[in-house]
Each structure stands twice: as structure tokens, then as C-alpha cells.
Amino acid sequence: MTVAYASGKVILFGEHAVVYGQPAIAVPVTQVQATATVEPGPAGRGITIIAEDLKQSYTLDQAPPNDALRAIVVGTLEHIGVGTKRDLTITVSSTIPIARGLGSGAAVSTAIVRALGQHFGNLVPPQVISNLVYETEKIHHGTPSGIDNTVIAFEKPVYFVRDQKMEIFSVKSPFLLTIADSGIASPTRIAVSHVRRAWEREREKYKELFDEIGTIAEMGRQAIERGEIETVGRLMNENHRLLQLMGVSSPELKGLVEAAREGGALGAKLSGAGRGGNIIALVTQETRSRVDMMLRLAGAKDIIVTEVS
């Protein structure tokens, strides 16, 4: 049996604006992960996919054509040149909450590519994993920028510009992020189409917002590379303000962001598509427990602390 994993992710700067060509920064979150196992299946049964969390089990032939798990299995087997006429059981599970901006879909797909690659002795390089997973992201999201599959496949902090650039950059002074779940599921596809409609109505306003967010992502990268952590926090606050103007915050996210700041976070913002999902807060060893307490009082359903390094 072959087992492979993939971590979750959060977007530090630039969500939504990244869809419109602005830079964004995302980092892996190793505290949550997707797991895929591959083992020989019953003879003549073909390929069976078991999605443990969804309590679903089906063969490739039974899967609807736009099933994301089917798509990544077929795409990977074709890529590594072994074809789909195999008897295999592929089991996936994940500790990454779904539709919370933590990249669960991309992580499950990445774990599958890694597990199939290992199983057939063909280690798939990160850029190829990213490209294969991007195809399934289209099924999940409609018009994904590609940032989720990139950060999850490379498992490093990335600076990303859609269709142009992916750079892994260095973190001078590692820092802590508290990730707090509002408990509200928010499918990326819906939030992204909401922004698109708003942009179509008010192009100038939204272009300005996207440009400003792009500048923040740029400055955020510099601040991280220089170890200027307080600047990172200020930029997170500013990014959140612009996301609010874009209409992707919510009363719950606003409450969590304010609670984190009251608790002493150096900065806080929503992360991912917004309208639900998670907020992230920049904390230190000294402030993390107070921020944690304030977030729980403000209704956070789950809290993860991760180090960005």
C-alpha cells in the first residue's frame, strides 16, 4: 500500500485580486492535511475511489464525467503513462475543513497525484503536480487563479501572479499565524462570481481595489523577506479593509478580525474567498493565547496556529 499526504494552505495577501492578474502570497499549513492511499484492488473491478469523509465509494466507470476525484486519477495515470485499465483502490481522507479557504480540494488532489506517482515508481515533480491539480480546481472553482494548487504542490511560501510567475521566497524571521474558523462554509465559486458581478457593475472602483491589493502583496513579500513583522501585520489590516470594500467580508469575519486585534495580534484579515471560512491573525508567542481566547469568545469554531518559515 502506498500513502501520500498534502497540506492545507492560507492566502496571506492578495485573494480575489489575484484572479485579475495581481500578485498574491500563500503559505502552506502543515497542521491539516489530506491523505491518499493506493493499493491493488479486486481483480476485474477496475479503479475504485473511496472518499472516506464523504462516505462515498464508486468506480471510475460510475463517476460522473465532472467528478474532481475521477479527473485527477485519470489525469495522473495518463501523465505517468500507465493508463486507467488497472485494478486499484484509492482511498482519500482529509483533516482540512471543506470550503473554508484552506485548500481542501487542491490538497486531496495533490495527495492522489503523489500517491499514484509513488505507487508506480514515478515521482511527479511539483510543477507537474500543480498543473494536474489545476485542471481539477477548474471543476471545483470555475475560474481559479491557480494559487491553491501552486502553494500546495510546492509546500513553500509562494509569490504568485496568474499565468505569469511563481516564486518561492525566503522568510527572514519565522512568524506565527493563528487561523480561526468562522464555522461558515463559503464555496469559492460563489464568492468569486459575486466579485465578478460587482466588478462588471463598477469596473473603476474594483480595478483600484485590485491594484491597491496587488501593491500590498508586493510590499508584504518585501516585509517578509526583510523580517519586518510589524509591517506584515499592518499590511494584513490594510488588505482586510480593502476586502471589506470589495464586499467579501461578513459580520462574523469582521467580529473575528476585531477580536484578534483586541487580543494583541499585529494584524488580522479574512483569508481565501471570504463571506465565511477563516480569518488569519499575526501573533507572537506572547500574544497567541490571549488572541486565542478573544477569538473563542467572538465565536471561532476552530483554531490552528501555524509557523510560517
Binding site for ligand PMV (CB under 6 A): 11, 15-16, 18-19, 101, 141, 144-145, 147-148, 188, 192, 272-273, 277
Q: Residue 42 corresponds to which cell in the numbers above?
A: 479486486
CB of 248 to ligand PMV, least distance (A): 8
CB of 123 to ligand PMV, least distance (A): 27
Q: Are 45 and 238 in contact (CB under 8 A)?
A: no
Give the rounded distance of the alpha carbon of 266 from its chain centre. Answer: 22
Cβ closest to ligand PMV, residue 134 vs residue 175: 134
CB of 192 to ligand PMV, least distance (A): 5
CB of 116 to ligand PMV, least distance (A): 23
CB of 261 to ligand PMV, least distance (A): 22
The residue nearest ligand PMV at its CB is 272
Cβ closest to ligand PMV, residue 13 vs residue 175: 13
d(CA 270, CA 112): 29
Cβ closest to ligand PMV, residue 77 vs residue 268: 268
What is residue 125's DSSP assignment? P
Cβ closest to ligand PMV, residue 45 vs residue 205: 205
**Residue 202, Cβ density class (10 Å: 0-12 exposed, 13-18 middle, ≥19 buried):** exposed
Cβ closest to ligand PMV, residue 75 vs residue 277: 277
> Residue 29 contacts by C-beta under 8 Å, 6 or more apart in sequence?
7, 8, 9, 10, 102, 179, 304, 306
CA angle 135, 9, 272 (to 5 degrees): 80
